[in-house]
Structure 1
C-alpha cells in the first residue's frame, strides 16, 4: 500500500507539471510568435519481481511504479498573421525561422519587432539580438543601417530630349530644365531654339541660360532629312556655382528628336536626366527577393542582402527559451534560404505572427489533467485509509 501512495504521488507530481504547461500556454495567448506545448506523460517501471514459473513465461517481470512527466512537445503550427505599425516588423508566411545573432551565436524566432540600434544594426526590440541576412557565401551576417538613412546625390551628366522641333516655328524654348550638381543642388536651365538657316538649311541656334537668365553657352543643331545630323547631336556645357564644383553635362538630342513641319507648334521636351538630389529615408519594406528595401524622398531605392530564413529538418529539436527565441544547440544545423525560395516561407513586412494558442483545446487539456490529478489524489487518500485500517486492526489485536 505504501507503493500505491508513491504511485499516486507520481500522478500528482506529473499532472502538476502538466497543469504548469497548460497554464503557460494560456498565459501566452497574446504573445507574438509563441508556440504552445503539449504535455507528454510516460509510464514508469522501476523494479522487477519474479513471475509465475509457467512455460514460456519470463523469469522476471517489471511492475508499474506510476507516471512521469516526460516532456512538452512543441506545436509549430502557424499563428495568425496580423498587420502592425512597425516598418521593421517581420513575420513568415510558411516554414522557417528568422535568424538573430547573439554575438556569434545564432538564435531563431518566428516573428520579430525590429528597430535600428544605436550602433546602426537592426536588432530585435525585445532581446536586442541582431537580425541576420545572407552574405555572398550564404552565411548569416548582421544587417547594418549605417549610411542608409541618406541617399547620396548624383550630379547630372546627360540631359536627353525627345519629340519634334517644327521648322514653322520662329522661336521655341524649354524652360525649367532641372539639373543637379555634385552636392545635390538643383539648377534650372532655359534652352532656347531659333532658326538659323543663313548658313545651311535645317540649322538651329541653341542658347542655354541659367535661372538668373545669364547665358551659359551657345551652340547649334543641324537637321538633315528631319533628323539631327549624326555626330552633331549633342551639346556640352559647364555650370559654375559658388556652393559646388563646376558641373559639366551634355544635352543629348539623338533620341527621337525630329524636325518635321507641324506649323508653328513644337513639342520638343526634356525626356530624362540622370542626376538627383540627396534623399532622406521615407519607407522600408520587404521586396520579392526577401531583401529589406529602402525608399528615399528623391525616388531612389536601396536594399540589403536577403534576410536569412533558417529551415530545420526537425523543429521539435528546438528549445523554446523565452522572448520568442528558440535555441538550436541540440538540433541539426539548419539550411538557410531567402524569402519564398529553397523551401522557406515568404517574408511579410509590417506584420507579426500571433500566438498559436487554441483556448478551446487548452481548456480540454485542462479538464483532462484536472481529472487525472483528482484520480491520483483519490488513490493516495484510499491507500492512506487502508493503512489506517491496518493500524487500527493491529491495535485491536
Structure 2
C-alpha cells in the first residue's frame, strides 16, 4: 500500500505543477505577443512481479505514478489589434522580431517598439535594439533615426502647367501668381507668370513674362499652339535661368505638355477667361520628420513636413525549423540555445508573413481552454488526494488488526 501512497503523491505534485502552468497562462492573458505553454505528462517506471505457479507464467505490473516531462510552447497566431502607436508592429504569419543587447540575441513576437534617447529603435519592455536588414540584405544592423530627421531640399527645375489659354480671353492676358521656386538654400522664391495673347502677330502665340517676388522681370519667352489646340512642337517648353538673391543659379523649365495631346495646356476657344494653372513642381523645401510607419514588407516609411516620403530599412525577421526548442526568458523573449541556425529575412519573403504597422499581437491564451484544463487538473488533484487518504486508512486498519492480537 505504500506504493499507492507514493503514486498518489506523484499525482498531487504533478497536478500542482500543471496548475502552476495554467496560472501563468491566465496571468498573461493580456501580455502582447505571449505564447501559452502546455504541460506534458508522462507515466513513471513500472514494477513487474512474476506470479508463477500452476504452470502459468503470468505477471503483475504496477505503475509508480506520474511526472511532468516539462512544458512546450504553443506558437499559435494571436489576434492582431491596433495599438495607436505607429512604431508598433505585429507579424501576421511566420516570423520573430530580432532584438540585440550587446553580444546577446533575443527573439520575440511582441512588437512594442519606440525610439530611445539615442535615436535607436528599441523594444519598450527590455530596451533591446530592433534589428533591421542591411542595404545588401545579407547582415543585420541597428536602426538609428538621427540620420533621417531632416529631408534635404530640392531645387525647382520643372514647372508643369495645365488648363486652357482661351482664344476668346477678353483681357488677352492671364496671370499665375505664387509659383513655387525652391532655391539652392531650400528657400521658396515665388515667381509670377504673365501670359499675353500675341495672336495678332503670330497665330496662336502667347508671350511669357516671368517676374520675381520683387516684381522684376527675370525672363521672357513664348508658347505656341497648333490648330487643334495642343502645344506646338518646339514651343511646348520654355527654359530660363533663374538667379535668386544669395542663392546659386538654376535652370527652370515651364512644361506645357506634349504636342498632339490635351491633358496639360490647351488653346481652345471655350470661355472668355483662361484657366491655366500650375499642375505640379518638382522642387521642395527642407522638411522635418513628422511620422514613422511600416508597410506590409516591414519597410520603415518616413513622412516629412514638406510632403515628401522616404524609405529606410526593413525590419529583420527570424524563423526556426523547430520552434519549441527555443527557451523562454521572460519579457516576451526567446533565446536559441540549440545548434539550429535561424532563417533570416524580411516580411513577405521566404517563409515569413507580413507586417501590420501600428498593431500588436495579442496573447494566444484561450481562456475557455484554460478553464477546461483547470477543471481537469482540479479533479485530478482531488482524486490523487483521495487515493492517498484511502491508502492511509487501509494501513491504519492493518495496524489496528495487528494491535488486537
**TM-score category by the smaller chain?**
0.7 to 0.9
User: In the alignment, is residue 284 of structure 1 matched against residue 292 of structure 2?
Assistant: yes
Deviation at 1:195, TM superposition (A): 4.5
- Structure-1-length-normalised TM-score: 0.86
> Mean alpha-carbon deviation: is it higher for 175-184 or for 375-384?
375-384
Determine if contact 1:234/1:254 at 8 Å carries over to the other structure.
Answer: no
Alpha-carbon displacement from aligned partner over 1:181-226 (angstroms, at most 9, x marks no partner) = 2332112111123355798666544321112212223344566766
Structure 1 residues 350-361: aligned runs within 5 Å: 350-361=358-369
Deviation at 1:174, TM superposition (A): 1.6
User: In the alignment, is residue 299 of structure 1 matched against residue 299 of structure 2?
Assistant: no
> Mean alpha-carbon deviation: is it higher for 33-42 or for 301-310?
301-310
Match of 2:255 among 252, 257, 262: 252
Task: Please state whether the residue corresponding to 1:86 is helix, strand or coil.
Answer: coil
Determine if contact 1:9/1:376 at 8 Å carries over to the other structure.
Answer: yes
Structure 1 residues 234-249: aligned runs within 5 Å: 234-242=238-246, 244-249=247-252
Deviation at 1:53, TM superposition (A): 8.6
* Alpha carbons of structure 1 residues 146 and 46: separation in structure 2 relative to 1, 3 Å: farther
Task: Please state whether the residue corresponding to 1:111 is helix, strand or coil.
Answer: coil
User: In the alignment, is residue 109 of structure 1 matched against residue 108 of structure 2?
Assistant: yes
Task: Please state whether the residue corresponding to 2:84 is helix, strand or coil.
Answer: coil
> How much is the aligned-residue C-alpha RMSD, in angstroms?
3.2
Alpha-carbon displacement from aligned partner over 1:106-142 (angstroms, at most 9, x marks no partner) = 3222232110122222111011122223333344433
Structure 1 residues 78-93: aligned runs within 5 Å: 78-93=77-92
Task: Please state whether the residue corresponding to 1:275 is helix, strand or coil.
Answer: coil
Determine if contact 1:42/1:67 at 8 Å carries over to the other structure.
Answer: yes
Alpha-carbon displacement from aligned partner over 1:257-313 (angstroms, at most 9, x marks no partner) = 455655754343323211012223333333243312222222211223332333333
* Alpha carbons of structure 1 residues 37 and 51: separation in structure 2 relative to 1, 3 Å: farther
Deviation at 1:52, TM superposition (A): 4.1
Match of 2:234 among 230, 242, 253: 230
Q: Residue in 2 aligned with 1:365?
A: 373
Match of 2:336 among 328, 339, 347: 328
Deviation at 1:50, TM superposition (A): 5.3
Structure 1 residues 142-291: aligned runs within 5 Å: 142-166=142-166, 169=169, 170-195=172-197, 204-221=206-223, 227-230=231-234, 233-242=237-246, 244-253=247-256, 255=258, 257-259=265-267, 265-291=273-299
Structure 1 residues 51-130: aligned runs within 5 Å: 52=52, 63-130=62-129
> Mean alpha-carbon deviation: is it higher for 252-261 or for 169-178?
252-261
Structure 2 spans left out of the alignment, 5+ residues: 259-263
Task: Please state whether the residue corresponding to 1:106 is helix, strand or coil.
Answer: strand
Deviation at 1:55, TM superposition (A): 8.9
Match of 1:343 among 351, 355, 360: 351
- Structure-2-length-normalised TM-score: 0.84
- Partners of 2:51 and 2:140 in 1: CA distance: 60
Task: Please state whether the residue corresponding to 1:316 is helix, strand or coil.
Answer: helix
- Partners of 1:283 and 1:232 in 2: CA distance: 39
Give the length in aligned residue pairs.
395
